[in-house]
Homo-oligomer: A and B are copies of this chain.
Amino acid sequence: MGEVAARFAGIVGEVNLLTGDRISEDYAHDESLTSEPRKPAYVAKPGAPGEVAALLVAAGEHGVPVTARGSGSGMSAAARPREDGLLISFERMNKVLEIDTGNQVAVVQPGVTLAELDERTAEAGLAYTVFPGELSASVGGTVGTNAGGMRAVKYGVTRHNVLGLQAVLPTGEIIRTGGKTSKISTGYDLTQLIIGSEGTLALATEVTVKLFPRLPHGATLLAPFGDLRQVMEAVPGIVSSGLAPNILEYIDNLTMAAISYNEQLSLGVPDEIQQATQAYLVVGLENRDAGRLDGDVARAGELLAELGASDVYVLEGGSARKLIEAREKAFWAAKSAGADDVIDVVVPRSEMPGFLEKTRETALAAESGAIGCGHAGDGNVHLAIFCKDREKRHRLLHDIFADAIARGGAISGEHGIGAAKKRYFLDLEDPAKVALMRRLKHAFDPGGILNPGVLFD
């Protein structure tokens, strides 16, 4: 074992320090479709914040770049390690430390998965409402990417639901930010700065999240529309209705076909309606009271019809769950259909019709495909891009992102920039902002050891 490896092993214990062949393929990538796997020189599995701090100090002294890894389900290659680097995997720091019902918060270690947190909060009648499509994702990873997901339309994204952190600075100090309160005006908000920084500023070793009462009654409506533009135009109407849907997704017809096929989903929509449908809207409602839910479902049904839906289906428990699960797996359907990239542009809600129309034209002109679905309530459009030629695809993505930005949107709503979308970010973002962000990065990480190559070159 080399000197550096021995130093790391001294910190986490030999069994928790992997090198060479002991490093499995899994650690070499996340779920980005465009980044080649890359095995790191070292994988360390710390068991405590102090070990993380010691690893960072050691890495700093030896000039070893460090990448944090939760579950590796990210889409931006931000958890993909460097070949000469140390991958810090939080898999052993996976305890739910506290479910605090009085304050309605949970305190967890970063390696806890969303699936486990969901189970544990359910026992207390509470819920952590950040649900990206992949529940194997770790809480630390969602802090890294500022993950969103379907419920964000009602409950907000990670940023709105993480109240505090324990975090290790690249210089080795362990700090606490925020706490079990949802308001603090006492200095700069370090919690918010670390959230969404994709492992480039500090590593979270403990996360305090906000919980909500788990509402017992829910319903899912499926509304086919003859016209994609109409779907998009319906969205603001539903948001402003006061019905406060907890899910508001659109799925275009090709994506619906792909996920229905992949998941053997049958929704009971007659063939002739399916054929005349360009896109579907999925509306989730929930309530603590069954009668009120019924009232809301009726009102939502009327509203959808007024807004141009060709029909409205109220899905029962089992098929509702299946539809949502299938929608969450849209990524796998796209992947198995041969998609060359997946993007998650965000634009103001009202810009979605124009953006999607323009994107369709741009893709067509490039002899490429761009189909998708998305968190329509948030203006967050997920598109599977079909375009084998790399240079052509770069130009296509550049044009799509530029259009989104021109409409007041951004390259990514929830997946992050990572390494995968960096060239577009550096090309299209205001240089004054990028320069400022670099200075902030330097203020946290003067040695530049945390995730170099992510966000910046």
Contacts and interface: CB of A to CB of B under 8 A. Distances in A.
Residue of A147, A185, A201, A239 contacting most chain B CB atoms (<10 Å):
A185
Contact of A192 (B193, B350, B417): B193
B187 A380 contact: no
B240 A349 contact: no
Contacts of A186: 410-412, 416-417, 425, 429
Interface in A136-186: 145-148, 152, 156-157, 159-160, 169, 173, 175-177, 179-186
Contact of A160 (B156, B179, B432): B156
A40 interface: no
A417 B187 contact: yes
How many copies of the polypeptide does the oligomer hold?
2
Nearest to A101: B240
Contacts of A358: none
Interface stretch (A84-92, A314-322, A333-341, A440-448): A440-448
Contact of A440 (B173, B180, B184, B443): B443
Interface string A413-451: 111110000000100011011101101111110000000
A352 B14 CA distance: 46
A353 to B, nearest CB: 10
A57 to B, nearest CB: 14
A78 to B, nearest CB: 10
Contact of A180 (B104, B169, B408, B455): B408
A346 B103 CA distance: 13
B190 A196 contact: no
A146 B185 contact: yes
Interface string A212-250: 010100000000000000000000100111100000000
Nearest to A144: B185
A196 to B, nearest CB: 5
A133 interface: no
A348 interface: yes
A76 to B, nearest CB: 8
Nearest to A416: B185
A303 to B, nearest CB: 13
Contact of A288 (B242, B429, B433): B242
A73 interface: no
A311 to B, nearest CB: 25
B146 A187 contact: no
Interface of A: 100-105, 126, 145-148, 152, 156-157, 159-160, 169, 173, 175-177, 179-190, 192-193, 195-197, 201, 213, 215, 236, 239-242, 288-289, 292, 295, 346-350, 375, 378-380, 408-417, 425, 429-430, 432-434, 436-437, 439-444, 455
21 contacts: A102-B350, A103-B236, A104-B236, A104-B240, A145-B185, A146-B185, A156-B182, A159-B189, A160-B160, A169-B432, A169-B436, A175-B433, A176-B430, A181-B349, A181-B413, A183-B413, A183-B414, A184-B413, A186-B425, A188-B437, A192-B193
